[in-house]
Structure 1
């Protein structure tokens, strides 16, 4: 039976929720107690977190893979991330896990949408019946993590290499110009030294 890329999202969610069930962890995060109004640092994020969503499953899986632990040790971290930053927090988490380096999703597959550039929880443009020209015009269905950057290293690498070759050629040309200038200055200084 052929599988589509969208099957991996349901498999990811099913695997994580099965692990939660086996560990006896509820699928909905418990409500937080109300924040102390006198504490200026108290968090007032009281949004419930559904632990069976694709975003939560992706966050807990990323944390567990990075720290080489089971998902039971990362449940509270994933809760906090989605409670405070939402799905967009996955991009921040991905950057943080790479020591703050910016992630170029043209060369690195997005952990949420796996490089398709669309939000996997939303219906596709075909299901919505969107006009084909809307696909490239800041569409509503873009992935909130990678912002629609398609994972196509084979396409962008050629373009990137062409850019780098041009920069290298410019640098070599500039070096040759500087070398000839240094030669002319040295020759003139040598002539002056010989005359005196």
Structure 2
């Protein structure tokens, strides 16, 4: 009897594949803490608390996979870069990384599949309202938690492209009509100026 799979199984497979590779390479699943930074006496808010990085999290596995695929290297070459990204920017850093890998251009997730949620628009880790920090009155509303990378953009390139083509056609028609009106106005002005010149 075949077992049924859900869309969320792909996220489990992603983390399982990456953690299996890390284990085979002898790379620990928890990033070592960075050396403590020198405390700045002029900055009372400075903190030397190192943010732990879990290399078995979906966000980290996504980051290291994106980096390895982009640079055509093994994941072992991108471990430290993924550590730094997640330590500095967290899960939302994946959106910045995706933009950077596209030469700094903004990524439209209606056309480009989100690397974190794979286009479903929801947070693939299915967090609780308490973990996300939702308002208390929302906890019982059964609301979705949008993906922190694509912010719930609906990945439907065919539908969005058709909608944009219609909008572009309307704008083009408006521009042509406006150009014709301006050309007509220029012609009338030129004719009027020519008549005044001839009279005087």
TM-score range, shorter chain: 0.7 to 0.9
Deviations 1:18-59 (A, max 9, x none): 11111111110011221111498x984611111011000000
What corresponds to 1:128 in structure 2?
none
What corresponds to 2:26 in structure 1?
24
Paired residues for 1:102-141 under 5 Å: 102-122=106-126, 139=143, 141=145
What corresponds to 1:5 in structure 2?
7
Paired residues for 1:156-195 under 5 Å: 156-195=160-199
Task: Give yes or no for contact 1:6–1:120 (8 Å, CA) kept in 2.
Answer: yes
How many Å separate the matches in 2 of 1:93 and 1:107?
17
Task: Give yes or no for contact 1:16–1:57 (8 Å, CA) kept in 2.
Answer: yes
What corresponds to 1:35 in structure 2?
37
- The reply to whether residue 66 of structure 1 matches residue 74 of structure 2 is no
Aligned residue-pair number: 185
Task: Give yes or no for contact 1:45–1:84 (8 Å, CA) kept in 2.
Answer: no
What corresponds to 1:50 in structure 2?
54
Task: Give yes or no for contact 2:39–2:48 (8 Å, CA) kept in 1.
Answer: no
**1:184 match: secondary structure:** helix
Do the aligned partners of residues 45 and 73 (structure 1) sit closer, same or farther apart at CA in structure 2, a change above 3 Å counting? farther
How many Å separate the matches in 2 of 1:46 and 1:118?
29
Deviation at 1:173, TM superposition (A): 0.9
**Structure 2 unaligned regions, length at least 5:** 129-137
Moved more, 109-118 or 160-169: 160-169
Deviation at 1:186, TM superposition (A): 2.2
How many Å separate the matches in 2 of 1:100 and 1:45?
31
Deviation at 1:65, TM superposition (A): 0.9
**1:5 match: secondary structure:** coil
Q: Which of 91, 95, 105 does residue 101 from structure 1 map onto? A: 105
Do the aligned partners of residues 172 and 44 (structure 1) sit closer, same or farther apart at CA in structure 2, a change above 3 Å counting? farther
TM-score, normalised via structure 1 length: 0.84
**Structure 1 unaligned regions, length at least 5:** 125-130
